[in-house]
């Protein structure tokens, strides 16, 4: 249960409200390429407007490193926001000072001010109190609705709360409530599907899911590291050699958990390999189940039986059809699935505009989660690449919950406190 005050717990009528949103959206050729995060912020903005409040919206975009850079301007977002809200959106050319005051003065009844990129000021990421005070100056209330940034201690997530009464918006509450409930009281069986590149980025998440879930399936580039940790030759595949000891520790941890209860830890059993990462790449399937297990250096090591399966010049770029089918089948046996990370290089499209040659494993998971094989479990989807993929397929509304925050959702799932939430007023 969310324990922080929300906009419904305080009076917003007629007030000037500083709203922190997460409009860190992809911009291509000067236009917003994916408006999902903007859409998710609309309920809070509309609530403020219906209560005659004057919202001043602040956000960051990209990494301009504390310098003004037109490439990272939020102006394209203002244009999209105006169409979605069907109200006047004044774009302030800065997030503090006279530009904000002038934009406020221009507002007609029911309008919104969207400020320029917070990160054009280095003080934002430095959590500067003087910068936060300048942000707060024109407002009477602060509303935090940028779930994607609340794991950071920045001026617009932490220091700002020392200058204004601070409460949550609807998106932040929904994200925290949904993720917390899934982690604390999931409908079982619970399954976690985890992809991505580096084990260290998701180490705590993997460990937590081994402790609380019934099945954990690993894919993506981190799957290569797990395979290599077992002695499988992975050719020119992306791995992190520094993560090899972690991979072995996780495998041991999963083995110990399986001895105590019914628990399954799934690593790739086959893979799609290729010499190049291109739409017209020639691919082939490598079957790791032909490997035999031997004891080398005191840990189970898989060594090739006969010829090396992955050639030196080849890369593992997706899980194979057996692994994808196994995971899809397991999805049919569980009630709740948390999915974070694609299973392959999904950003490579095919020559005809369809999903590319390294997206088949991820497609199987999507189809299984959406009930294409019969049963449809509750689905919680997170992670930038995962969200981007389901958005590109136009399927984002079909999942039970798609998180707007990559790092924040990881931190929350791992059981950590979020500074931007902790700083808000308690109920």
Residues catalogued as catalytic: 37, 198, 384, 407
CB 390 within 8 A of CB 381: yes
d(CA 361, CA 317): 10
| HEC assignment per residue over 392-426 | HCCCHHHCCEECCCHHHHHHHHCCCCCHHHHCCCE
Chain CA centroid to CA 320, Å:
24
Backbone torsions φ then ψ of 265, nearest 5 degrees:
-115, 120
| HEC assignment per residue over the chain | CCCECEHHHCCCCCCEEEEECCCCCCEECCEECCCHHHHHHHHHHHHHHHCCCEEEEECCCCCCCCCCCHHHCCHHHHHHHHHHHCCCEEEECCCCCHHHHHHHHHCCCCCEEEECCHHHCHHHHCCCHHHHHHHHCCCCEEEECCHHHCCCCCCCCCHHHHCCCEEECHHHHHHHHHHHHHHHCCCCCEEEEECCCCCHHHHHHHHHHHHHCCEEEECHHHHHHHHHHCCCCCCCCCCCHHHHHHHHHHHHHHHHHHHHCCCEEECCCEEEEECCCCCCCCEEEEEHHHCEEEEECCEEEEECCCCCCCCCCCEEEEECHHHHHHHHHHHCCCCEEEEECCCCCCCCECCCCCECCCCHHHHHHHHHHCCCCCCCCEEEEECHHHHHHHHHCCCHHHCCEECCCHHHHHHHHCCCCCHHHHCCCEC
Q: Which structure tokens are listed for 103? A: 């934009």
d(CA 358, CA 316): 9
């Amino acid at each position: 249960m969310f324990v922080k005050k929300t906009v419904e717990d305080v009076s917003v009528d007629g007030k000037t409200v500083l709203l922190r949103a997460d409009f860190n959206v992809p911009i291509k050729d000067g236009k917003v390429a994916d408006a999902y995060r903007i859409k998710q912020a609309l309920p809070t903005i509309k609530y403020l407007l219906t209560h005659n409040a004057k919202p001043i919206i602040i956000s960051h975009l990209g990494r301009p490193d504390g310098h003004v850079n037109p490439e990272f301007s939020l102006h394209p977002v203002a244009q999209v926001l105006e169409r979605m809200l069907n109200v006047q959106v004044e774009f302030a050319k800065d997030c503090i000072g006279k530009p904000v005051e002038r934009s406020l003065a221009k507002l007609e009844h029911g309008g919104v001010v969207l400020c320029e990129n917070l990160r054009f000021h280095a003080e934002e990421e430095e959590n500067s109190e003087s910068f936060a005070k300048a942000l707060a100056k024109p407002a009477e209330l602060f509303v935090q609705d940028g779930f994607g940034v609340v794991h950071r201690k920045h001026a617009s997530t932490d220091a700002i709360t020392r200058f204004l009464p601070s409460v949550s918006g609807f998106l932040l509450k929904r994200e925290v409530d949904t993720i917390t409930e899934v982690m604390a009281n999931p409908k079982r069986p619970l399954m976690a599907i985890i992809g991505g590149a580096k084990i260290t980025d998701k180490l705590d998440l993997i460990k937590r899911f081994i402790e609380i879930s019934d099945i954990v399936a690993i894919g993506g580039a981190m799957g290569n590291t797990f395979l290599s940790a077992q002695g499988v030759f992975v050719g020119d595949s992306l791995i992190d050699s520094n993560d090899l000891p972690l991979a072995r520790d996780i495998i041991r941890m999963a083995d110990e958990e399986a001895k105590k209860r019914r628990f399954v830890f799934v690593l790739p059993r086959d893979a799609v390999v290729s010499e190049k990462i291109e739409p017209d790449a020639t691919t082939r399937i490598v079957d790791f189940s032909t490997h035999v297990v031997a004891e080398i250096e005191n840990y189970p090591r898989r060594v090739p039986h006969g010829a090396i399966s992955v050639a030196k010049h080849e890369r593992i770029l997706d899980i194979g059809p057996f692994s994808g089918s196994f995971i899809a089948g397991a999805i049919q046996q569980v009630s709740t699935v948390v999915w974070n990370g694609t299973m392959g290089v999904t950003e490579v499209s095919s020559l005809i505009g369809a999903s590319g040659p390294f997206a088949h494993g991820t497609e199987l998971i999507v189809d299984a989660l959406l009930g294409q094989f019969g049963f449809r479990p509750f689905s919680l989807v997170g992670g930038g690449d995962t969200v981007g993929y389901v958005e590109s397929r136009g399927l984002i509304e079909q999942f039970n919950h798609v998180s707007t925050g990559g790092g924040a959702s990881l931190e929350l799932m791992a059981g950590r406190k979020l500074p931007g939430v902790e700083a808000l007023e308690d109920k």
